[in-house]
Chain A
Amino acid sequence: MVHTGRSERIGKLLFYSAILAVIALCIFPLLWQCLASFNFEDKLFRKDLHVLPDPPTLQNYKNVFLTGESNFGSTSFFRYMCNSLLISVTVTAACLFIGSLSGYALGKVHFMGKNVILGVFLIGSMFPQIAIMSPLFLFFKRIHLMNSYMSLIIPYIAFNLPLSVWVLSTFYTQVPVELKDSATIDGCGEFQIYSHIMTPLVIQGFVAVGLLIIINCWNEFIFASTFILSDKLRTIPVAVALFPGVHNTLPWGQISAASFACTIPVILIVLFFQKKIVSGLTAGAVKG
């Protein structure tokens, strides 16, 4: 009995230290970013770092978000956040609308070639973006859409549609068929069934997919850095990546402040809506 107790205790110790190690590894970078953002810049550029800001300061945040001494010149970081927000929300709304129409059709309407259509969406989502970029670049240049919000919104909608369609169709399939049948008997047209009966029941799916789309748009980099050239229209990832400065003269305090301010909303959303996001991810990737 003593033997079992001891090995059990060692097991538990290992278990908890493993968990602690994982938690530390996950949180540490974010924690450091937070601490660095509240530190005076000159305190960061030293070998004998003071890890805890002493004294803490809001100077970095002031520089980044209010104009004046900001390294960006006259553009406050708020501008970039607004750009990202505008694009993300527009794309999400469009994807939810278009995706739910398709999801409903795939989930509840009987027609031929469903698997083919699903396959088409899935294959499309796997195209490497580099293979799509140059033709789109040339095309947007020709129709003078380059360097505008639309030059990002249109591709983003396309990239997020497969996920939306895939996940929403799963949700629509789960709605009981009887509801559609009774609505049909009552004389509802297909679109009315979609808008008034089915869609209100899949709000869960909307939230799950919507969150994933917003996160995708907030993070997107390769298109954002190539299609948007003027500073005023820039999105957050590009703004952070292009912070003025060279190697060891980069204003790390300000970069940390800007990054931390833009990361916190995403983290809060992810933590708050954990369950929904996970259900969206697993539905999209595994269950199919």
Chain B
Amino acid sequence: MRIVMRNKNFISRSVLENITGYSFLLPALLIVFFVMFYPVFFTVKLSFMDYALQFNKKEFTGLANYTALFHDTQFLSSIGRTCVFTISSVILELVFGLGIALLANARLRGNGLLRTVMLIPWAIPTVISAVLWKFMLNDQFGILNFIFSRLGFISEYKAWLAFPKSAVGSTILIDAWKTTPFVFILLLAGLQVIPKEEYEAASIDGASAFQKFLYVTMPEIAKVVFITLLFRTMDAFRVFDMVVNLTNGGPGNATEYVTLEAYKTIFRNLKIGYGSAMSVVIFIIIMLFSTMYLLLLMRDKKQKN
């Protein structure tokens, strides 16, 4: 049992607190360091090498992997594809997430059910939902073809996942379906913080519903929207689970997104050095976004304090 001196020995008290604080933090810091930070550092090291795992032969090659990457049309186009996917998916999620959040925020019956039901796509494990959609999009007995042809949208069954454009479109729509709930939750939380008096004041001033949205809602949720946007952009860029189980990069290369490309290079082709260089490029791109996110959060915390 320690008796802490309150007035005397101020210096030793804070030293004691520092030691206590850090010793409590030690397990977490150690794990995070050894499982996350050190491997990343090691990946960077690997990216400067030519590592033939089969012969356990490592050879330092400097920037050779990176120069090769800049000329690798397959890798560059996979970055392009991933960007297209990310932008489309995030826009869809924001638009629908905001729209549904506005619906759920209105004070009419059906709200609670809507909020509950919206969580379902998010709750279904990603792999299971990818396999499920693959089943539903099947060209011979998929339920989607069944419904569309009965409703008259299409004349004959289509192989949605066998053609590049529709395959890419499918990945975008399915990702949006899966993660709009997440956007919805965050935006709804942001909407619910807006005090009702602001809307009432706007009504008194004669604002229409649209004007209220533009001048009351939008400014208040701007920060939440931006943070959600950053978060979702980082996540969408890293897409893997869904794509690998839906199309596995096919047809051809159409849905070969960047993480999938790097994964196949490392674990199928066993080009560990080259794949590590790809991973580093992905890492840098992601970190650009996360730095923005961090800066925003830090600035917000400072404002609060």
- What secondary structure prevails in chain A residues at the interface with B? helix
Q: Is the CB of A190 within 8 A of B20?
A: yes
Chain B CB within 8 A of A18 CB: yes
Report Cα–Cα, A12/B121, bound state, in Å. Answer: 26
Q: Is the CB of A158 within 8 A of B140?
A: no
Chain A CB within 8 A of B37 CB: yes
Chain A CB within 8 A of B283 CB: yes
Report Cα–Cα, A154/B35, bound state, in Å. Answer: 8
Q: Is the CB of B241 within 8 A of A161?
A: no
- Within the complex, the shortest CB–CB distance from B294 to chain A, in Å, comes to 6
User: Assuming the A-B contacts A134-B272, A274-B116, are A221 and B126 also in contact, with contact meaning beta carbons closer than 8 angstroms in the complex?
Assistant: yes
Report Cα–Cα, A218/B125, bound state, in Å. Answer: 8
Report Cα–Cα, A221/B248, bound state, in Å. Answer: 14
Q: Is the CB of B40 within 8 A of A134?
A: no
Chain B CB within 8 A of A104 CB: yes
Residue of B nearest to A237 (CB): B127
The interface bits of chain A over 17-28 (1 if a CB of B lies within 8 angstroms of the residue's CB, else 0) are 011001101110
The interface bits of chain B over 23-59 (1 if a CB of A lies within 8 angstroms of the residue's CB, else 0) are 0110111011001111110110010000000000000
User: Assuming the A-B contacts A45-B141, A219-B125, are A131 and B117 also in contact, with contact meaning beta carbons closer than 8 angstroms in the complex?
Assistant: no
Q: Which B residues from 228 to 266 make CB contacts under 8 A with A? A: 228, 231, 234, 238, 240-241, 244-245, 259, 262-263, 266
Q: Is the CB of B123 within 8 A of A128?
A: no
Chain B CB within 8 A of A74 CB: no
Report Cα–Cα, A122/B38, bound state, in Å. Answer: 16
Q: Is the CB of B263 within 8 A of A286?
A: no
The interface bits of chain B over 123-163 (1 if a CB of A lies within 8 angstroms of the residue's CB, else 0) are 11111110111011010110100100000000001000000
Partner of B39, one of A29, A132, A188, A238: A132
Chain B CB within 8 A of A263 CB: yes
Q: How many residues of B contact A (CB 8 A)?
A: 97
User: Assuming the A-B contacts A131-B279, A154-B35, are A187 and B1 also in contact, with contact meaning beta carbons closer than 8 angstroms in the complex?
Assistant: yes
Residue of A nearest to B182 (CB): A281
Q: Which B residues from 45 to 103 make CB contacts under 8 A with A? A: 46, 100, 103
Residue of B nearest to A46 (CB): B141
Q: Is the CB of A236 within 8 A of B125?
A: yes
Q: Which A residues from 209 to 260 make CB contacts under 8 A with B? A: 215, 218-219, 221-222, 226, 236-238, 240-241, 243, 248, 252, 255-256, 259
Residue of A nearest to B13 (CB): A110
Chain B CB within 8 A of A176 CB: no
Partner of A270, one of B114, B123, B131: B123
- Point out the residues of chain B lying under 8 angstroms from A162, CB to CB: 32
Q: Is the CB of A49 within 8 A of B114?
A: no
- Within the complex, the shortest CB–CB distance from A173 to chain B, in Å, comes to 12
Partner of A22, one of B39, B103, B185: B103
Partner of B283, one of A112, A127, A134: A127
- Within the complex, the shortest CB–CB distance from A240 to chain B, in Å, comes to 6
Chain B CB within 8 A of A98 CB: yes
Report Cα–Cα, A267/B119, bound state, in Å. Answer: 8
User: Assuming the A-B contacts A49-B143, A288-B300, are A36 and B135 also in contact, with contact meaning beta carbons closer than 8 angstroms in the complex?
Assistant: yes
Chain B CB within 8 A of A117 CB: yes
Q: Is the CB of B39 within 8 A of A131?
A: yes
- Point out the residues of chain A lying under 8 angstroms from B290, CB to CB: 122-123, 126
- Point out the residues of chain A lying under 8 angstroms from B4, CB to CB: 184
- Within the complex, the shortest CB–CB distance from B142 to chain A, in Å, comes to 9
Q: Is the CB of B36 within 8 A of A221?
A: no
Q: Is the CB of A286 within 8 A of B189?
A: yes
Report Cα–Cα, A25/B228, bound state, in Å. Answer: 22
User: Assuming the A-B contacts A131-B279, A252-B135, are A15 and B227 also in contact, with contact meaning beta carbons closer than 8 angstroms in the complex?
Assistant: no
User: Assuming the A-B contacts A128-B279, A131-B280, A286-B190, are A22 and B259 also in contact, with contact meaning beta carbons closer than 8 angstroms in the complex?
Assistant: no
- Point out the residues of chain B lying under 8 angstroms from A12, CB to CB: 108
Chain A CB within 8 A of B172 CB: no
Chain B CB within 8 A of A16 CB: yes
Report Cα–Cα, A187/B4, bound state, in Å. Answer: 8
Report Cα–Cα, A281/B244, bound state, in Å. Answer: 26
Q: Is the CB of A278 within 8 A of B189?
A: yes
- Other A-B contacts than A26-B121, A111-B17, A288-B301, 9 sampled, CB-CB below 8 A, are A15-B103, A23-B113, A112-B18, A128-B238, A129-B238, A132-B39, A157-B31, A158-B31, A270-B120
Lowest 7 A-B CB distances belong to which pairs?
A111-B21, A158-B35, A105-B24, A135-B42, A237-B127, A135-B39, A126-B290
The contact sample of 27 A-B pairs, CB cut-off 8 A, is: A15-B103, A19-B103, A22-B117, A26-B121, A49-B146, A102-B29, A105-B24, A106-B21, A111-B14, A117-B25, A119-B294, A126-B293, A129-B238, A135-B38, A154-B31, A158-B31, A161-B32, A165-B28, A222-B240, A243-B131, A248-B140, A267-B124, A270-B120, A270-B122, A281-B182, A281-B186, A285-B227
